[in-house]
């Protein structure tokens, strides 16, 4: 047996599986083909796909798997079965037309699923499968061949070639020769690392360099070639020739670093690098080049290289006291030399440091001399101590301490505390933050000092206390976190309470959380502070569990917090990070990754888990990699649209589909989709699905939909069950909102709702909740007024006061609101308040205020400052509408960008919705010139007078963009009389730039009856559409929604029932 007993195809061998479709198509048992391709395993996987993969894995020879057309046998057999279902639709030997259509739909969805997940396999996963010999070369190629981009296909084939060199190396070389893309160069170079002796590969790399346009990138490619092969001098000299041709000197420096990183023991290459550095016109770039190149220079050439550059550099420096920039370059140069010399042979240090001190002695300004001495002091040889002190004689007291501290490794240990005591007095800052720049300089100085001082093993505890006192008064609290991140692991035991005090003194919550987590890794006793801190407890516990890997209780606490996180992305990321450190958690993390909706995050997390996953999880990894997930809501949308035509199909099994939705937002949206079609007897199941939503926001949204949509039929009957869910909410704002709506049917919950409103702490949320109660409780209006007047933010204060207008239409209140509006500088803020205010005003008051509002909208000539005209449109007279239309037709724009921005801001939908009849044709013409045709017809078509319909059709037929014209004609056809429908069909027949299938689909929307009269033609339309969309499952699902009316018209209720079962089966089998 090639797979476990639970696979119904376990006893088929590879040959039988590969040729399965052809076997059955040639026999009288064609129906069995469809049945076999519909089988699933106990785990819900597609039985044939699993069996085929297992057979290939265990087969001695799988050459027949992919040879001729580069498609694996799974897809080939599915397509063969699809073609058989098409033949059966015509012949009708063993299937009804509805069943044949349902099978075609099934195979289209399977094909699109396979193509989608095969294309989504990450390179890392395919390399992992190849490296571990989980898949043979042929099977890897089968999935890679689904990628429709040749460059992508080549790159991944090149990555797996090292694991199947005999089969794939000739193939990949041949494929490379047919691709003219710079991406192939990098893939070939990667291959060269595995096959450095392959001359054909090396030559192919060199021949392909011209595909790379950027000279810097060409240098990068050549240096990678040099790394891969022995005897690379010729390659590096070629790279240096390229560097010479780079115009930008900064890019030349970058290129030199790349070459130096692979430089061999070749004097000629080193000499050429130095030559290019010396030719740089900018002295600072010469310094930067040396800094980047020096670490790679071999010890053999190092003294000569440094001496030659030193002499060149010294001749260009001006040591004049006013030439600060050159002095700065000296310091930078000395720092580079000091760091590099320190790592060289001891016998070489003396001469070079002596030269460095000689250079420092030439600096006239003591302050800059001190900086230069500090750069080299840390690395100074003992023999040069007297020379160092002699050069520093003229440096002032404050800087002198820094200079002394730089040579602390040469000073007796017993004298360090005195120097330290003096030094600690230097960086102290007052508790008051002064200028930002000065504060940052102080911090930088202290933090650099800390990095050195905390490494002293004899540092007294008293000194540590002084250091923490300095840290505590930093004006920028993030600096405290930064320093603790550097020194926490070095803190002595005696500083536990002092450290806790400093960390808890931070007032910024987020920074305090970060700091407490850092110091708790040093002092476990501080863990309670972390847990009690109002920050991300799950994140902190995760970090601490990783730090204290032996503490099982801490790990359990972290897991408990992570498992209750409602945001699936955050939850998954925390679990994956834990699993990387605790491998027994990999299966749980993998299950979370499998349920991630977004492919980009799922693949990233899967790639992280692959290196720590055990071999027995490989099957789960493959299932996870195949999960498409992001289109599950689209599946349910299709099913909902099918149920519209077959209400009897809304059965309890529909609720099983909700388990395929992993995001609470998707569950809420799906529940709201199905709510209007819910049979009353299924309401308890519906309520159960709502209760499974973890995020209270989305659960509240779903319950609101239920209460508003089904209140008359269902709410009174199930009030107890609904209240049980509502009272389970943790946040009072959600309880109050829902209880207020339920109070219409159960008045006894009113007092409970009021109590919950008063429990809300956030002022904005409390105001929002109070607005629901104002109409029923006059006493709460005064409470609302007091809260509103105390809100500091003008926009929020005005919005809160607006809520009182329907109940308190006093001139004083309205004037107060309008005064606040005038004081709001932000146009969006003004817009929000006015949009909320105007509907509440009486007509007389509104007419008095309208001129002021029009100054911000209609009469505003600033194209960038215009606010949403939709807020005034419902109240405009016909004359004002005409004035606004004139303004739109004549408005001038400085450029297309400004016009586009204005059009995006202007509320065309509202304009079309309220425009008077006499202006409708003008509006349609104007909108057609500004890319807003569809929104105009959507709003105007239902109100269009009969006398205008012919002209409206003429305007629609004149739209230049065919896809917009198509959508507009669909909208307009709903209201056109028969004579204009015929004219529309004639126009569609002569439309250019659309396919016959698109033309037929458009006709089916204009005249649904036409489908039944031309059934044969529309069947071919059906075939063409699902076939052309079978490369991407999301696109196919969207197209199925368009085709549902045709399915119903042609094949009746039976096909709808079959389609529902088919869509459900594919969703379960290929999630």
**Which residues are CB-neighbours of 279 under 8 A, at least 6 positions away?**
none
CA angle 484, 489, 494 (to 5 degrees): 90
Kindly report, residue by residue over 379-429, the tens digit of the pLDDT.
Answer: 777 787 778 778 777 776 656 766 776 776 676 655 555 555 555 554 443
Percent of the chain with pLDDT over 90: 0
Kindly report, residue by residue over 291-328, the tens digit of the pLDDT.
Answer: 777 777 776 676 777 666 666 666 666 656 555 566 66
Residue 2: pLDDT band by 50, 70, 90 thresholds?
A: very low
**Which residues are CB-neighbours of 392 under 8 A, at least 6 positions away?**
369, 370, 373, 400, 403
Residue 771: pLDDT band by 50, 70, 90 thresholds?
A: confident
Nearest to 721 by CA among 706, 708, 731, 733: 706
Question: What distance lies between CA 573 and its chain's CA centroid?
Answer: 13
Residue 96: CB atoms within 10 Å? 15
Q: Return the pLDDT at 318.
A: 60
| Burial class (CB within 10 angstroms; exposed 0-12, middle 13-18, buried 19+) of 1033 | buried
Lowest-pLDDT choice from 40-54, 148-162, 423-437: 423-437
Q: Return the pLDDT at 775.
A: 67
Q: Return the pLDDT at 68.
A: 32
Q: Return the pLDDT at 437.
A: 36
Whether the per-residue pLDDT at 456 is higher than 60: the answer is no
Q: Return the pLDDT at 440.
A: 47
Q: What is the C-alpha separation between 872 and 859, in angstroms, rounded?
A: 12
Q: Which residues of 668-693 are buried (b: 16+ CB within 10 A; e: fewer)?
A: bbbbebbbeebeeeebeebbebbeeb
Lowest-pLDDT choice from 36-40, 62-66, 306-310, 675-679: 62-66
Highest mean pLDDT among 367-381, 728-742, 752-766: 728-742
**Overall average pLDDT of the 651-670 stretch:** 82
Selected residue with higher pLDDT from 152 and 3:
152
Whether the per-residue pLDDT at 530 is higher than 70: the answer is no
Residue 171: CB atoms within 10 Å? 14
* DSSP state at residue 407: T
Kindly report, residue by residue over 1025-1045, the tens digit of the pLDDT.
Answer: 777 777 777 777 787 777 787
Kindly report, residue by residue over 1009-1027, the tens digit of the pLDDT.
Answer: 566 556 666 777 777 777 7
Lowest-pLDDT choice from 187-191, 470-474, 822-826, 836-840: 470-474
**Overall average pLDDT of the 21-39 stretch:** 71
Residue 157: pLDDT band by 50, 70, 90 thresholds?
A: confident
**Overall average pLDDT of the 583-604 stretch:** 82
Query: What is the average pLDDT score of the chain?
Result: 73
Residue 776: pLDDT band by 50, 70, 90 thresholds?
A: low
Q: Return the pLDDT at 4.
A: 41
Lowest-pLDDT choice from 72-76, 248-252, 275-279: 72-76
Q: Return the pLDDT at 65.
A: 33
Percent of the chain with pLDDT over 70: 72
Whether the per-residue pLDDT at 668 is higher than 80: the answer is yes
Domain map (residue ranges) of the chain = 14-152, 536-628, 791-877
Q: Return the pLDDT at 1041.
A: 79
Selected residue with higher pLDDT from 586 and 276:
586
Kindly report, residue by residue over 99-126, the tens digit of the pLDDT.
Answer: 888 888 888 888 777 777 666 666 777 7
Residue 332: pLDDT band by 50, 70, 90 thresholds?
A: low
Strand partners, 46: 40
Residue 903: pLDDT band by 50, 70, 90 thresholds?
A: low
Q: Return the pLDDT at 317.
A: 63
Q: Return the pLDDT at 649.
A: 77
Kindly report, residue by residue over 709-725, the tens digit of the pLDDT.
Answer: 766 666 677 888 888 88
Q: What is the C-alpha separation between 665 and 672, in angstroms, rounded?
A: 11
Selected residue with higher pLDDT from 598 and 421:
598
Q: What is the C-alpha separation between 196 and 191, in angstroms, rounded?
A: 8
Selected residue with higher pLDDT from 1000 and 689:
689
Q: Return the pLDDT at 27.
A: 65
CA 868 to each of CA 211, 325, 329, 1052: distance values in angstroms, whole numbers, following the listed order: 51, 55, 57, 47
Strand partners, 40: 46
**Which residues are CB-neighbours of 1003 under 8 A, at least 6 positions away?**
985, 988, 1010
Nearest to 953 by CA among 988, 989, 1005: 988
**Overall average pLDDT of the 744-762 stretch:** 80
Q: What is the C-alpha separation between 124 and 1065, in angstroms, rounded?
A: 30
Kindly report, residue by residue over 469-503, the tens digit of the pLDDT.
Answer: 777 767 667 777 777 777 777 777 787 788 788 77
Selected residue with higher pLDDT from 457 and 343:
343
Task: For residue 125, give both structure tokens.
Answer: 């996963």
| Burial class (CB within 10 angstroms; exposed 0-12, middle 13-18, buried 19+) of 270 | buried
Q: Return the pLDDT at 393.
A: 75
Q: Return the pLDDT at 431.
A: 36
Q: What is the 3-state secondary structure (H, E, C) of 31-65?
A: HHHHHHCCCECCCCCEHHHHHHHHHHHHCCCCCCC
């Amino acid at each position: 047996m090639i797979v476990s007993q639970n696979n119904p195809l376990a006893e088929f061998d590879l040959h039988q599986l590969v040729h399965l479709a052809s076997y059955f198509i040639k026999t009288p048992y064609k129906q069995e083909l469809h049945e076999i391709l519909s089988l699933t395993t106990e785990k819900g996987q597609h039985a044939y796909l699993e069996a085929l993969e297992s057979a290939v894995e265990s087969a001695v020879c799988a050459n027949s798997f992919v040879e001729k057309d580069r498609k694996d046998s799974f897809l080939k057999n599915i397509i063969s079965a699809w073609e058989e279902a098409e033949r059966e639709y015509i012949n009708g030997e063993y299937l009804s037309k509805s069943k044949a259509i349902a099978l075609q739909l099934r195979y289209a969805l399977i094909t699109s699923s396979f193509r989608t997940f095969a294309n989504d396999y990450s390179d890392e996963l395919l390399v992992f499968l190849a490296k571990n010999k989980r898949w043979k070369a042929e099977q890897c190629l089968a999935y890679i061949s689904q990628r429709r981009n040749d460059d992508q296909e080549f790159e991944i084939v090149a990555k797996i070639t090292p694991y199947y060199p005999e089969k794939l190396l000739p193939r990949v070389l041949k494929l490379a020769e047919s691709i003219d893309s710079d991406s192939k160069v990098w893939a070939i170079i990667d291959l060269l690392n595995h096959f450095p002796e392959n001359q054909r590969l090396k030559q192919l790399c060199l021949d392909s360099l011209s595909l790379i346009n950027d000279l810097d990138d060409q240098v990068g490619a050549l240096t990678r070639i040099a790394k891969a092969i022995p005897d690379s001098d010729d390659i590096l000299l070629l790279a240096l020739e390229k560097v010479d041709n780079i115009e930008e000197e900064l890019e030349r420096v970058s290129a030199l670093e790349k070459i130096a990183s692979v430089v061999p023991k070749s004097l000629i290459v080193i000499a050429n690098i130095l030559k290019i550095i010396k030719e740089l016109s900018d002295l600072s770039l010469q310094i930067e080049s040396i800094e980047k190149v020096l670490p790679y220079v071999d010890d053999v050439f190092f003294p000569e290289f440094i001496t030659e550059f030193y002499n060149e550099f010294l001749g260009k420096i001006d040591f004049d006291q006013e030439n600060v920039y050159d002095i700065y370059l000296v310091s930078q140069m000395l720092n580079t030399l000091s760091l590099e010399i320190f790592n060289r042979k001891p016998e070489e240090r003396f001469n070079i440091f002596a030269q460095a001190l000689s250079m420092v002695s030439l600096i006239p300004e003591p302050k800059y001399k001190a900086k230069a001495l500090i750069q080299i002091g840390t690395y100074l040889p003992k023999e040069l101590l007297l020379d160092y002190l002699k050069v520093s004689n003229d440096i002032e007291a404050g800087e002198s301490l820094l200079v002394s501290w730089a040579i602390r490794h040469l000073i007796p240990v017993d004298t360090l505390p005195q120097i330290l005591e003096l030094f600690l007095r230097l960086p102290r800052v007052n508790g008051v933050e002064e200028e930002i720049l000065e504060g940052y300089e102080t911090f930088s100085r202290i933090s650099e000092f800390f990095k050195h001082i905390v490494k002293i093993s004899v540092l007294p505890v008293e000194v540590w206390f002084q250091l923490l006192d300095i840290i505590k008064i930093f004006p920028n609290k993030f600096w405290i976190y930064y320093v603790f991140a550097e020194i926490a692991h070095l803190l002595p035991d005696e500083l536990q309470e002092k450290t806790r005090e400093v960390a808890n003194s931070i007032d910024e919550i987020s920074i305090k959380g970060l700091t407490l987590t850092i110091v708790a890794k040093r002092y476990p006793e501080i863990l309670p502070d972390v847990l009690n801190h109002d920050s991300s407890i799950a994140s902190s516990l995760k970090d601490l569990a990783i730090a204290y890997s032996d503490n099982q209780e801490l790990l359990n606490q972290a897991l408990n917090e992570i498992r209750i996180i409602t945001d699936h992305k955050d939850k998954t990321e925390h679990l994956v990070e834990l699993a990387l450190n605790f491998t027994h958690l990999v299966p749980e993390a993998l299950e979370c990754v499998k349920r991630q909706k977004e492919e980009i995050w799922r693949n990233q997390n899967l790639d992280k888990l692959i290196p720590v996953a055990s071999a027995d999880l490989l099957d789960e990894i493959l299932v996870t990699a195949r999960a498409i997930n992001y289109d599950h809501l689209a599946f349910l949308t299709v099913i909902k649209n099918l149920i519209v035509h077959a209400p009897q199909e809304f059965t309890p099994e529909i609720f099983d589909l909700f388990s395929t939705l992993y995001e609470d937002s998707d569950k809420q949206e799906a529940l709201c989709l199905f709510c209007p079609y819910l049979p009353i007897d299924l309401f308890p199941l519906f309520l159960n699905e709502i209760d499974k939503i973890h995020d209270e926001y989305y659960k509240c949204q779903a319950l609101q939909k239920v209460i508003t949509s089904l209140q008359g039929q269902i709410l009174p009957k199930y009030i107890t069950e609904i209240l049980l869910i509502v009272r389970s909410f943790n946040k009072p704002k959600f309880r109050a909102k829902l209880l207020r709506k339920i109070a219409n049917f159960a008045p006894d919950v009113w007092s409970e709702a009021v109590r919950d409103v008063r429990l809300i702490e956030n002022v904005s949320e409390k105001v929002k909740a109070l607005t629901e109660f104002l109409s029923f409780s006059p006493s709460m209006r005064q409470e609302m007024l007091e809260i509103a007047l105390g809100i500091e933010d003008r926009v929020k204060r005005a919005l809160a006061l607006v809520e009182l207008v329907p109940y308190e239409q006093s001139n004083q209140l309205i004037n107060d609101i309008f005064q606040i509006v005038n004081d709001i500088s932000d146009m969006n803020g003004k817009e929000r308040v006015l949009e909320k205010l105007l509907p509440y005003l009486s007509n007389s008051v509104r007419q008095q205020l309208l001129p002021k509002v029009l100054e911000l909208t209609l009469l505003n000539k600033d194209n960038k400052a215009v606010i949403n005209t939709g807020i005034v449109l419902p109240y405009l007279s016909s004359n004002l509408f005409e004035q606004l239309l004139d303004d739109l037709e004549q408005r001038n724009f400085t450029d297309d960008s400004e016009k586009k921005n204005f059009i995006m801001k202007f509320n065309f939908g509202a304009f079309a919705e309220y425009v008077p009849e006499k202006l409708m044709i003008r509006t349609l013409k104007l909108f057609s010139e500004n890319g807003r045709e569809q929104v105009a017809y959507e709003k105007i078509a239902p109100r269009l007078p009969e006398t205008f319909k012919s002209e409206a059709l003429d305007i629609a037929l004149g739209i230049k963009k065919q896809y917009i014209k198509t959508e507009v004609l669909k909208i307009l056809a709903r209201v056109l009389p028969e004579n204009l429908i015929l004219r529309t069909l004639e126009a569609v027949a002569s439309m250019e730039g659309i396919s016959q299938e698109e033309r037929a689909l458009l006709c089916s929307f204009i005249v649904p009856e036409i489908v039944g009269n031309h059934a044969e033609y529309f069947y071919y339309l059906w075939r063409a559409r699902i076939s052309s969309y079978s490369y991407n499952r999301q696109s196919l699902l969207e197209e199925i929604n368009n085709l549902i009316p045709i399915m119903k018209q042609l094949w009746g209720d039976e096909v709808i029932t079959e389609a529902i079962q088919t869509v459900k089966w594919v969703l379960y089998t290929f999630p």
